[in-house]
Structure 1
Amino acid sequence: MPAITDLRGPSGILEAILDPPATSAGAVAPRAAVVFAHPHPQHGGTMHTKVVYQGAKGLTRIGCAALRFNFRGVGSSAGTFGKGEGEKEDFRAALDYLSGRYPDVRLWSAGFSFGAWVALEVGAVDDRVSVLIGIAPPVATSVSGMNYTFPSTLAGIKPKFFVQGEADEVCPLEGMWAFYASLQEPRELVVIDGAN
Protein backbone atom coordinates (compact mmCIF):
# COMPACT_ATOMS: atom_id res chain seq x y z
CA MET A 1 0.00 0.00 0.00
CA PRO A 2 1.41 3.43 -0.92
CA ALA A 3 2.57 5.65 1.89
CA ILE A 4 1.80 9.35 1.66
CA THR A 5 4.85 11.18 2.83
CA ASP A 6 6.19 14.70 3.00
CA LEU A 7 9.82 15.11 2.17
CA ARG A 8 11.88 18.17 2.94
CA GLY A 9 12.89 20.09 -0.15
CA PRO A 10 14.96 23.25 -0.49
CA SER A 11 11.79 25.39 -0.71
CA GLY A 12 9.90 23.51 2.01
CA ILE A 13 7.84 20.35 2.21
CA LEU A 14 7.28 18.40 -1.02
CA GLU A 15 4.14 16.29 -1.29
CA ALA A 16 5.09 12.69 -2.13
CA ILE A 17 3.86 9.11 -2.37
CA LEU A 18 6.14 6.13 -1.81
CA ASP A 19 4.94 2.95 -3.51
CA PRO A 20 6.56 -0.17 -2.01
CA PRO A 21 7.61 -3.12 -4.17
CA ALA A 22 4.60 -5.26 -5.10
CA THR A 23 6.73 -8.40 -4.86
CA SER A 24 8.03 -7.72 -1.36
CA ALA A 25 6.52 -9.16 1.78
CA GLY A 26 8.13 -6.31 3.69
CA ALA A 27 11.20 -8.24 4.81
CA VAL A 28 13.02 -8.25 1.47
CA ALA A 29 14.88 -5.16 0.29
CA PRO A 30 13.64 -3.64 -2.98
CA ARG A 31 15.48 -4.37 -6.23
CA ALA A 32 16.03 -0.61 -6.51
CA ALA A 33 14.58 2.61 -5.11
CA VAL A 34 13.36 4.90 -7.90
CA VAL A 35 12.59 8.62 -7.86
CA PHE A 36 10.03 9.30 -10.63
CA ALA A 37 9.56 12.94 -11.75
CA HIS A 38 6.44 14.38 -13.40
CA PRO A 39 5.93 16.55 -16.52
CA HIS A 40 6.17 20.33 -16.67
CA PRO A 41 4.58 21.96 -13.60
CA GLN A 42 3.23 24.87 -15.63
CA HIS A 43 1.46 22.57 -18.08
CA GLY A 44 -0.53 20.44 -15.65
CA GLY A 45 2.17 17.94 -14.70
CA THR A 46 1.78 16.30 -11.29
CA MET A 47 2.80 13.09 -9.56
CA HIS A 48 -0.69 11.82 -10.46
CA THR A 49 -0.16 12.20 -14.22
CA LYS A 50 -1.21 8.91 -15.84
CA VAL A 51 2.22 8.03 -17.28
CA VAL A 52 3.97 8.76 -13.97
CA TYR A 53 1.41 6.78 -11.99
CA GLN A 54 1.51 3.78 -14.34
CA GLY A 55 5.30 3.96 -14.68
CA ALA A 56 5.71 3.87 -10.91
CA LYS A 57 3.28 0.95 -10.66
CA GLY A 58 5.24 -0.92 -13.34
CA LEU A 59 8.45 -0.41 -11.40
CA THR A 60 6.86 -1.75 -8.22
CA ARG A 61 5.74 -4.86 -10.13
CA ILE A 62 9.39 -5.68 -10.88
CA GLY A 63 10.37 -5.26 -7.24
CA CYS A 64 11.30 -1.58 -6.99
CA ALA A 65 10.17 1.00 -4.46
CA ALA A 66 8.96 4.08 -6.37
CA LEU A 67 8.79 7.62 -5.00
CA ARG A 68 6.55 10.05 -6.87
CA PHE A 69 6.49 13.65 -5.69
CA ASN A 70 5.16 17.04 -6.72
CA PHE A 71 7.74 19.64 -7.66
CA ARG A 72 7.72 22.94 -5.77
CA GLY A 73 4.48 24.86 -6.22
CA VAL A 74 2.49 21.81 -7.43
CA GLY A 75 -0.32 20.32 -5.33
CA SER A 76 0.53 20.92 -1.69
CA SER A 77 4.29 21.22 -2.28
CA ALA A 78 5.79 24.46 -0.98
CA GLY A 79 7.46 27.02 -3.22
CA THR A 80 7.05 28.28 -6.77
CA PHE A 81 8.26 27.12 -10.17
CA GLY A 82 12.07 27.20 -10.28
CA LYS A 83 12.59 27.28 -14.07
CA GLY A 84 14.15 23.82 -14.04
CA GLU A 85 17.03 24.51 -11.68
CA GLY A 86 14.70 24.56 -8.66
CA GLU A 87 13.09 21.32 -9.80
CA LYS A 88 16.53 19.72 -10.07
CA GLU A 89 17.09 20.71 -6.42
CA ASP A 90 13.75 19.09 -5.54
CA PHE A 91 14.80 15.90 -7.33
CA ARG A 92 18.09 15.84 -5.38
CA ALA A 93 16.08 16.15 -2.15
CA ALA A 94 13.95 13.17 -3.23
CA LEU A 95 17.12 11.16 -3.91
CA ASP A 96 18.38 12.13 -0.45
CA TYR A 97 15.12 10.92 1.09
CA LEU A 98 15.23 7.56 -0.70
CA SER A 99 18.92 6.98 0.00
CA GLY A 100 18.19 7.54 3.69
CA ARG A 101 15.15 5.28 3.61
CA TYR A 102 16.95 2.51 1.65
CA PRO A 103 20.67 2.99 2.41
CA ASP A 104 21.80 -0.34 0.94
CA VAL A 105 19.62 -0.29 -2.19
CA ARG A 106 20.57 1.01 -5.64
CA LEU A 107 18.91 4.28 -6.70
CA TRP A 108 17.38 4.75 -10.13
CA SER A 109 16.41 8.10 -11.61
CA ALA A 110 13.24 8.27 -13.76
CA GLY A 111 10.93 10.85 -15.26
CA PHE A 112 8.40 11.72 -17.93
CA SER A 113 8.80 14.65 -20.36
CA PHE A 114 10.11 17.67 -18.37
CA GLY A 115 10.55 15.26 -15.45
CA ALA A 116 12.73 13.05 -17.67
CA TRP A 117 15.01 16.02 -18.35
CA VAL A 118 15.31 16.68 -14.61
CA ALA A 119 15.81 13.00 -13.73
CA LEU A 120 18.34 12.31 -16.48
CA GLU A 121 20.50 15.36 -15.83
CA VAL A 122 20.48 15.02 -12.02
CA GLY A 123 20.88 11.25 -12.07
CA ALA A 124 23.74 11.33 -14.57
CA VAL A 125 25.99 13.19 -12.12
CA ASP A 126 24.81 11.73 -8.82
CA ASP A 127 27.10 8.86 -7.80
CA ARG A 128 24.29 7.20 -5.86
CA VAL A 129 22.22 6.70 -9.03
CA SER A 130 22.98 3.58 -11.06
CA VAL A 131 20.29 3.65 -13.81
CA LEU A 132 18.60 6.44 -15.79
CA ILE A 133 15.06 6.11 -17.19
CA GLY A 134 13.44 8.66 -19.49
CA ILE A 135 9.93 8.55 -20.93
CA ALA A 136 9.50 11.00 -23.81
CA PRO A 137 12.31 13.34 -22.75
CA PRO A 138 12.08 16.80 -24.41
CA VAL A 139 15.22 16.28 -26.49
CA ALA A 140 14.08 18.22 -29.56
CA THR A 141 11.56 20.56 -28.06
CA SER A 142 11.10 23.97 -26.51
CA VAL A 143 8.37 24.39 -23.90
CA SER A 144 7.54 27.78 -22.39
CA GLY A 145 10.68 29.23 -23.93
CA MET A 146 12.94 26.62 -22.31
CA ASN A 147 15.35 24.78 -24.57
CA TYR A 148 16.37 21.54 -22.93
CA THR A 149 19.98 20.42 -23.08
CA PHE A 150 21.36 17.13 -21.81
CA PRO A 151 25.14 17.55 -21.42
CA SER A 152 25.46 15.29 -18.38
CA THR A 153 23.27 12.58 -19.89
CA LEU A 154 25.17 12.66 -23.19
CA ALA A 155 28.53 12.41 -21.41
CA GLY A 156 27.40 9.76 -18.94
CA ILE A 157 28.18 6.06 -19.01
CA LYS A 158 25.37 4.86 -16.72
CA PRO A 159 22.77 2.49 -18.21
CA LYS A 160 20.00 4.48 -19.89
CA PHE A 161 16.52 3.21 -20.78
CA PHE A 162 14.03 5.24 -22.83
CA VAL A 163 10.39 4.83 -23.80
CA GLN A 164 9.07 6.97 -26.64
CA GLY A 165 5.74 7.20 -28.45
CA GLU A 166 5.98 6.76 -32.20
CA ALA A 167 3.58 9.66 -32.84
CA ASP A 168 4.60 11.93 -29.93
CA GLU A 169 3.68 15.50 -30.90
CA VAL A 170 5.63 17.21 -28.10
CA CYS A 171 8.80 15.09 -28.22
CA PRO A 172 9.03 13.88 -31.85
CA LEU A 173 10.51 10.46 -32.52
CA GLU A 174 13.02 11.81 -35.06
CA GLY A 175 14.57 14.00 -32.38
CA MET A 176 14.66 11.08 -29.97
CA TRP A 177 16.51 8.89 -32.49
CA ALA A 178 19.11 11.64 -33.06
CA PHE A 179 19.56 12.07 -29.31
CA TYR A 180 19.77 8.31 -28.78
CA ALA A 181 22.47 7.98 -31.45
CA SER A 182 24.59 10.50 -29.50
CA LEU A 183 24.42 8.58 -26.22
CA GLN A 184 27.14 6.35 -24.90
CA GLU A 185 26.43 2.68 -24.20
CA PRO A 186 24.75 1.04 -22.42
CA ARG A 187 21.44 2.35 -23.72
CA GLU A 188 18.07 1.06 -24.87
CA LEU A 189 15.11 2.71 -26.57
CA VAL A 190 11.63 1.19 -26.77
CA VAL A 191 9.24 2.85 -29.24
CA ILE A 192 5.51 2.36 -28.62
CA ASP A 193 3.74 1.98 -31.98
CA GLY A 194 1.14 4.67 -32.66
CA ALA A 195 1.47 6.27 -29.21
CA ASN A 196 1.38 10.04 -28.79
Structure 2
Amino acid sequence: MLVRETPCFIDGPSGPLEALYLDVADARGLVLICHPNPVQGGTMLNKVVSTLQRTARDAGYSTLRFNYRGVGQSAGSHDMGAGEVDDSEAVAQWMRQQHPQLPLVLMGFSFGGFVAASLAGRLERAGSEVEQLFMIAPAVMRLTEQFPLPQHCQLSVVQPDADEVVDPQLVYQWSETLSRPHELLKVAECGHFFHGKLTDLKDLLLPRLSK
Protein backbone atom coordinates (compact mmCIF):
# COMPACT_ATOMS: atom_id res chain seq x y z
CA MET A 1 0.00 0.00 0.00
CA LEU A 2 1.31 3.43 -0.94
CA VAL A 3 1.85 5.59 2.13
CA ARG A 4 1.12 9.26 1.52
CA GLU A 5 2.27 12.36 3.35
CA THR A 6 -0.27 14.05 5.59
CA PRO A 7 -0.85 17.82 5.22
CA CYS A 8 -0.54 19.67 8.50
CA PHE A 9 0.24 23.05 10.03
CA ILE A 10 2.98 23.57 12.61
CA ASP A 11 3.23 26.59 14.90
CA GLY A 12 6.12 28.78 13.77
CA PRO A 13 7.58 32.03 15.07
CA SER A 14 5.56 34.06 12.52
CA GLY A 15 2.43 31.90 12.58
CA PRO A 16 1.38 28.51 11.20
CA LEU A 17 3.72 26.77 8.76
CA GLU A 18 2.29 24.56 6.03
CA ALA A 19 3.89 21.11 5.98
CA LEU A 20 3.69 17.55 4.65
CA TYR A 21 4.46 14.86 7.22
CA LEU A 22 5.03 11.16 6.67
CA ASP A 23 5.01 9.04 9.81
CA VAL A 24 6.66 5.71 8.96
CA ALA A 25 6.03 2.71 11.22
CA ASP A 26 9.23 1.56 12.95
CA ALA A 27 11.14 4.47 11.41
CA ARG A 28 14.93 4.43 11.71
CA GLY A 29 15.01 8.20 12.10
CA LEU A 30 13.54 11.57 11.16
CA VAL A 31 14.39 13.57 8.05
CA LEU A 32 13.59 17.29 7.79
CA ILE A 33 13.89 18.79 4.29
CA CYS A 34 14.40 22.51 3.57
CA HIS A 35 13.32 23.91 0.20
CA PRO A 36 15.02 26.38 -2.18
CA ASN A 37 14.77 30.17 -2.46
CA PRO A 38 11.14 31.31 -2.15
CA VAL A 39 11.87 34.54 -4.02
CA GLN A 40 12.72 32.41 -7.07
CA GLY A 41 9.65 30.20 -6.70
CA GLY A 42 11.04 27.60 -4.31
CA THR A 43 8.50 25.62 -2.28
CA MET A 44 8.27 22.29 -0.50
CA LEU A 45 6.83 20.83 -3.74
CA ASN A 46 10.05 21.47 -5.69
CA LYS A 47 11.01 18.32 -7.62
CA VAL A 48 14.43 18.02 -5.95
CA VAL A 49 12.79 18.34 -2.52
CA SER A 50 10.26 15.70 -3.57
CA THR A 51 13.11 13.40 -4.61
CA LEU A 52 14.81 13.91 -1.24
CA GLN A 53 11.55 13.04 0.53
CA ARG A 54 11.02 9.85 -1.46
CA THR A 55 14.63 8.81 -0.95
CA ALA A 56 14.36 9.26 2.82
CA ARG A 57 11.03 7.40 2.84
CA ASP A 58 12.52 4.49 0.91
CA ALA A 59 15.41 4.37 3.41
CA GLY A 60 12.91 3.91 6.24
CA TYR A 61 12.69 7.42 7.68
CA SER A 62 9.74 9.50 8.76
CA THR A 63 9.88 12.74 6.77
CA LEU A 64 8.72 16.31 6.95
CA ARG A 65 8.95 19.08 4.39
CA PHE A 66 7.44 22.50 4.93
CA ASN A 67 6.99 25.95 3.43
CA TYR A 68 8.92 28.82 4.98
CA ARG A 69 7.09 31.91 6.18
CA GLY A 70 5.24 33.64 3.35
CA VAL A 71 5.32 30.59 1.07
CA GLY A 72 2.15 28.73 0.08
CA GLN A 73 -0.20 28.78 3.06
CA SER A 74 2.51 29.54 5.63
CA ALA A 75 1.97 32.76 7.58
CA GLY A 76 4.39 35.68 7.60
CA SER A 77 6.67 37.16 4.95
CA HIS A 78 10.07 36.27 3.55
CA ASP A 79 13.11 37.05 5.66
CA MET A 80 15.71 35.39 3.39
CA GLY A 81 17.96 34.45 6.28
CA ALA A 82 17.56 34.01 10.01
CA GLY A 83 13.76 33.91 9.81
CA GLU A 84 13.75 30.80 7.66
CA VAL A 85 16.23 29.16 10.03
CA ASP A 86 13.88 30.05 12.89
CA ASP A 87 11.04 28.38 10.97
CA SER A 88 13.07 25.22 10.43
CA GLU A 89 13.99 25.11 14.11
CA ALA A 90 10.31 25.21 15.09
CA VAL A 91 9.56 22.38 12.68
CA ALA A 92 12.52 20.32 13.97
CA GLN A 93 11.28 20.75 17.52
CA TRP A 94 7.82 19.58 16.46
CA MET A 95 9.28 16.48 14.82
CA ARG A 96 11.28 15.62 17.91
CA GLN A 97 8.21 15.99 20.07
CA GLN A 98 6.53 13.30 17.95
CA HIS A 99 9.47 10.90 18.22
CA PRO A 100 12.01 12.08 20.82
CA GLN A 101 13.91 8.78 20.68
CA LEU A 102 14.73 8.92 16.95
CA PRO A 103 17.85 10.52 15.41
CA LEU A 104 17.40 13.63 13.26
CA VAL A 105 18.75 14.05 9.73
CA LEU A 106 18.64 17.41 7.92
CA MET A 107 18.53 17.91 4.15
CA GLY A 108 18.44 21.13 2.17
CA PHE A 109 18.48 22.08 -1.49
CA SER A 110 20.01 25.35 -2.76
CA PHE A 111 18.89 28.11 -0.33
CA GLY A 112 17.58 25.20 1.73
CA GLY A 113 21.14 23.90 2.02
CA PHE A 114 22.02 27.13 3.80
CA VAL A 115 18.93 26.81 6.03
CA ALA A 116 19.60 23.16 6.93
CA ALA A 117 23.29 23.80 7.66
CA SER A 118 22.50 26.83 9.80
CA LEU A 119 19.87 24.88 11.71
CA ALA A 120 22.28 22.00 12.29
CA GLY A 121 24.84 24.41 13.70
CA ARG A 122 22.25 26.06 15.93
CA LEU A 123 20.93 22.76 17.27
CA GLU A 124 24.43 21.46 17.95
CA ARG A 125 25.35 24.58 19.92
CA ALA A 126 22.17 24.10 21.98
CA GLY A 127 23.22 20.54 22.82
CA SER A 128 20.74 18.89 20.46
CA GLU A 129 22.47 16.30 18.29
CA VAL A 130 21.98 16.00 14.53
CA GLU A 131 23.00 12.68 12.99
CA GLN A 132 23.55 13.68 9.36
CA LEU A 133 23.43 16.81 7.21
CA PHE A 134 22.98 16.70 3.43
CA MET A 135 23.57 19.93 1.50
CA ILE A 136 22.40 19.70 -2.13
CA ALA A 137 23.72 22.39 -4.54
CA PRO A 138 23.97 24.59 -1.43
CA ALA A 139 23.98 28.38 -1.36
CA VAL A 140 27.27 28.42 0.55
CA MET A 141 27.73 32.16 -0.06
CA ARG A 142 25.09 32.74 2.63
CA LEU A 143 27.04 30.85 5.31
CA THR A 144 28.59 33.81 7.09
CA GLU A 145 29.92 33.91 10.65
CA GLN A 146 26.34 34.59 11.74
CA PHE A 147 25.45 31.06 10.60
CA PRO A 148 28.21 28.67 11.76
CA LEU A 149 28.25 25.07 10.59
CA PRO A 150 27.87 22.08 12.90
CA GLN A 151 31.14 20.37 13.75
CA HIS A 152 30.12 16.84 14.76
CA CYS A 153 27.40 15.42 12.51
CA GLN A 154 28.17 13.55 9.31
CA LEU A 155 28.23 16.03 6.42
CA SER A 156 27.69 15.25 2.73
CA VAL A 157 27.71 17.96 0.04
CA VAL A 158 26.28 17.15 -3.40
CA GLN A 159 27.20 19.61 -6.14
CA PRO A 160 26.22 19.49 -9.84
CA ASP A 161 29.25 20.35 -11.96
CA ALA A 162 27.21 22.34 -14.52
CA ASP A 163 25.20 24.30 -11.94
CA GLU A 164 23.86 27.51 -13.51
CA VAL A 165 22.55 28.97 -10.22
CA VAL A 166 25.23 28.22 -7.62
CA ASP A 167 28.78 28.48 -9.01
CA PRO A 168 30.30 24.99 -8.62
CA GLN A 169 33.77 26.44 -8.11
CA LEU A 170 32.48 28.47 -5.19
CA VAL A 171 31.22 25.28 -3.54
CA TYR A 172 34.45 23.41 -4.30
CA GLN A 173 36.55 26.23 -2.83
CA TRP A 174 34.29 26.40 0.22
CA SER A 175 34.70 22.64 0.67
CA GLU A 176 38.49 22.98 0.56
CA THR A 177 38.43 25.54 3.36
CA LEU A 178 36.40 23.36 5.74
CA SER A 179 38.49 22.02 8.59
CA ARG A 180 35.86 19.51 9.66
CA PRO A 181 35.45 16.07 8.00
CA HIS A 182 32.95 15.90 5.14
CA GLU A 183 32.47 14.41 1.71
CA LEU A 184 32.00 16.35 -1.53
CA LEU A 185 30.08 14.47 -4.21
CA LYS A 186 30.22 15.96 -7.72
CA VAL A 187 27.49 15.11 -10.25
CA ALA A 188 28.81 15.23 -13.82
CA GLU A 189 26.89 16.96 -16.64
CA CYS A 190 24.24 18.11 -14.23
CA GLY A 191 22.52 21.47 -13.77
CA HIS A 192 21.20 23.04 -10.60
CA PHE A 193 17.75 21.43 -10.76
CA PHE A 194 19.04 17.93 -11.59
CA HIS A 195 17.10 17.73 -14.87
CA GLY A 196 17.41 14.10 -15.99
CA LYS A 197 19.62 13.38 -12.96
CA LEU A 198 17.14 12.92 -10.12
CA THR A 199 17.71 9.17 -10.17
CA ASP A 200 21.46 9.80 -9.87
CA LEU A 201 20.79 12.01 -6.85
CA LYS A 202 18.69 9.31 -5.21
CA ASP A 203 21.38 6.70 -5.94
CA LEU A 204 23.96 8.89 -4.19
CA LEU A 205 21.86 9.51 -1.10
CA LEU A 206 20.11 6.21 -0.50
CA PRO A 207 23.17 4.18 0.60
CA ARG A 208 24.31 7.04 2.85
CA LEU A 209 20.91 7.08 4.55
CA SER A 210 20.84 3.29 4.82
CA LYS A 211 24.11 2.86 6.73
Q: Please name the residue that 1:83 is paired with.
A: 80
Extract unaligned runs of 5+ from structure 2. 192-211
Task: State the TM-score, normalizing by the size of structure 2.
Answer: 0.81
- The one-character-per-residue Cα deviations of 1:97-134 (angstroms, maximum 9, x if unpaired) are 11001110001121101111011011123123221111
Extract unaligned runs of 5+ from structure 1. 141-146
CA RMSD in angstroms comes to 1.6
Q: Please name the residue that 1:143 is paired with.
A: none
Give the conservation status (yes or no) of the 8 Å contact 1:72–1:80. yes
Provide runs of 4+ in structure 1 moved above 4 Å: none
Higher strand fraction: Structure 1 or Structure 2? 1
Q: Please name the residue that 2:148 is paired with.
A: 152
- The one-character-per-residue Cα deviations of 1:130-163 (angstroms, maximum 9, x if unpaired) are 21111011124xxxxxx5426521x623210111
Give the conservation status (yes or no) of the 8 Å contact 2:118–2:143. no
Amino acid at match of 2:173: A
Q: Please name the residue that 2:21 is paired with.
A: 18
Q: Please name the residue that 1:36 is paired with.
A: 33
In 2, distance between residues paired with 1:95 and 1:184?
A: 27
In 2, distance between residues paired with 1:94 and 1:86?
A: 13
- Report the number of matched residues: 183
In 2, distance between residues paired with 1:158 and 1:72?
A: 27
Task: State the TM-score, normalizing by the size of structure 1.
Answer: 0.87
In 2, distance between residues paired with 1:177 and 1:195?
A: 15
Amino acid at match of 1:128: E
1:174 to 166, 169, 175: 169
Q: Please name the residue that 2:209 is paired with.
A: none
The offset of 1:185, in angstroms, is: 3.9
Give the conservation status (yes or no) of the 8 Å contact 1:116–1:135. yes
Amino acid at match of 1:82: D
Alignment of 1:54 with 2:54, yes or no, is: no
Q: Please name the residue that 1:162 is paired with.
A: 157
Alignment of 1:92 with 2:95, yes or no, is: no
Q: Please name the residue that 2:117 is paired with.
A: 120
**Structure 1 residues 20 and 164: alpha-carbon distance in aligned structure 2, compared to 1, 3 A threshold:** farther
Higher helix fraction: Structure 1 or Structure 2? 2
Q: Please name the residue that 1:183 is paired with.
A: 178
